[in-house]
Amino acid sequence: MVYAKKPFAGPQAVLAYLARYTHRVAISNSRLREINDNQVTFTYKDYRRKGDNRHKTMQLDTDEFIRRFMLHVLPSGFHRIRHFGLLASRPKLALARKLLDAPAPEVQETSTKAEDETAVFICRKCQQPLEIMAIKEPVYLPRAPPKSN
């Protein structure tokens, strides 16, 4: 027996479906119930429970809420993208292209190392070249597991 859903109603519906998964924040404003100086109260869905009582309320100290929220914020220059189906696996995508007799997309050339080494950073205030004195490690470790209570 095979389970199959009806196909999407065109490209706009596919785009709307994928956009919900690729461009959303960690928590929407509608889930926030109460915010004060000490605590944040919000709703969440407990997927382990069945039935109508899946939605629960959690209250966290403001510092802990911000810490957990920041685990979902990507560093500057990164983009959150999730791929589904054929796009989730390069070998599957290559096989699909072969079966459809579709050409692979053109690869854009990236900058060479020589260009990167000659990059000059300019001060926004005085317009003079900046000299890198040191590169420090980040103060925090991104994607740390949540603290157990």
Write down the pLDDT at residue 104.
78
Mean pLDDT over all residues of the chain? 76
The arithmetic mean of pLDDT across residues 51-79, rounded, is 84
Region of poorest pLDDT, from 11-15, 108-112, 115-119, 124-128: 115-119
Write down the pLDDT at residue 98.
86
Q: State how far the Cα of 104 lies from the Cα of 96, in Å rounded to an integer.
A: 11
- Partnered with residue 55 across adjacent β-strands are 45
pLDDT grade for 113, boundaries at 50, 70 and 90: low
pLDDT in tens, 15-45: 666 666 556 677 888 899 999 889 999 999 8
- Partnered with residue 43 across adjacent β-strands are 57
